[in-house]
Amino acid sequence: MTTPARPTLRVGVVGAGRVGAVLGAALRAAGHDVVAASAVSDASRDRAELLLPGVPLRAVPEVVAAADLVLLAVPDDALSDLVAGLAATGTWVPGQMAVHTSGRHGLAPFAPAAAQQVLPLAIHPAMTFTGTSVDLARLPECCFGITTPEPLRPVAEALVVEIGGEPVWVPEAARGRYHAALAHGSNHLVTLVAQAMEVLTSAGIEPADRVLRPLLQASLDNALASGDAARTGPVARGDAGTVAAHLHELADLAPDLPAAYTALARATAQRASRDGRLRADLARDVLTTLDQERP
């Protein structure tokens, strides 16, 4: 008995940015036909040429009209207006799938296209993208937050599995909190690491990335495995004197540095006190020090 061939979809990529170009390339590698893409900036056009060679660049309405599956990889704040504009001009094709990659949004942005019988899918990669072929190698380890009408859930899951990812169901009501968690963890981690490298460099310690990499990698692995139980350092020990010394060292650097240290030290002390790993009197000492040394 032979297995029926999987249907090949004609894919249109609206927005050949870091995410759109990579996911378009992944769908192409999975056997689908990327028929057109839109790219506004020079960087997007270069990215499309690199990751989607041979795919014609077209205006957005032409991309939509040519596709069975339209991949909308545009900024969160532009998504609703884009869907509504395409609905107002009658561009959507009844029965075609529309996939957006926004983490923040679920199905609400697709409401204007409902009358045109568009099949809506929210599929968000829980990954930070460089917009290069490096990202393609990361997709097999990537979870994708999916939100769809229940009948379309198997379709979204199949698309994610085809490109090597792992589908994770995100209810519509949880979409905002889901995205806040990912942005807080990923985006603020970049700021934190960049700040730590800046402080080391200001002290003449090079290479800063080499010094930090083993420590940060171990901290990340431990935190993912054990949560708050992985907490170490002067705040976790209630060492208020060391905290004060740190703030003194940071005082003459860029103002975001002591401000971030203070905010994160306060959050660390509060969490450590709440879960009982830091005695209440030691937590008070740390918090008082932070208030006295406020940048």
Q: Where are the domains of the chain?
A: 10-170, 178-292
Amino acid at 268: T
Residues 207-229: what's their mean pLDDT? 97
Report whether 231 contacts 277 (CB < 8 A): yes
Residue matched to tokens 């395409």: 86
Q: Is the pLDDT of residue 280 over 50?
A: yes
Q: Is the pLDDT of residue 3 over 80?
A: no
User: Looking at residue 142, what DSSP letter applies?
Assistant: -
Please give the CATH superfamily to which domain 10-170 belongs. NAD(P)-binding Rossmann-like Domain (3.40.50.720)
**Contact residues for 295 (Cβ-Cβ < 8 A; gap 6+):** 247, 251, 255, 258, 259, 262
Q: How many CB atoms are closer than 10 A to CB 71?
A: 28
Q: Is the pLDDT of residue 175 over 50?
A: yes
Q: What is the pLDDT of residue 4?
A: 44
Q: Where are the alpha helices (DSSP H) in the chain?
A: 18-29, 42-51, 60-65, 76-88, 134-138, 153-162, 175-202, 208-226, 234-237, 240-250, 256-274, 280-292
d(CA 9, CA 1): 24
pTM: 0.90
d(CA 90, CA 103): 26
Q: Is the pLDDT of residue 154 over 70?
A: yes
> CA–CA distance from 294 to each of 169, 199, 237, 243 (Å)?
42, 18, 20, 12
Share of the chain above pLDDT 70, in %: 97
Q: Which of 7-11, 211-215, 263-267 has the lowest mean pLDDT?
A: 7-11
Q: Is the pLDDT of residue 62 over 50?
A: yes
Residues 163-170: what's their mean pLDDT? 97
Mean pLDDT over each residue of the chain, to the nearest integer: 95
Residues 41-62: what's their mean pLDDT? 96
User: Residues 16-35: pLDDT tens digits?
Assistant: 999 999 999 999 999 999 99
Residues 191-206: what's their mean pLDDT? 97
Q: Is the pLDDT of residue 2 over 60?
A: no
Q: Which of 151, 111, 145, 129 lies closest to 23 in space, CA to CA? A: 129
The domains spanning 10-170 and 178-292 adopt the same CATH topology: no
d(CA 160, CA 125): 9
CATH fold, domain 178-292, is N-(1-d-carboxylethyl)-l-norvaline Dehydrogenase; domain 2 (1.10.1040)
Q: What is the pLDDT of residue 141?
A: 86
User: Residues 110-146: pLDDT tens digits?
Assistant: 999 999 999 999 999 999 999 999 999 999 989 999 9
Helix (H) or strand (E) holding 127: none
Residue matched to tokens 């003194």: 248
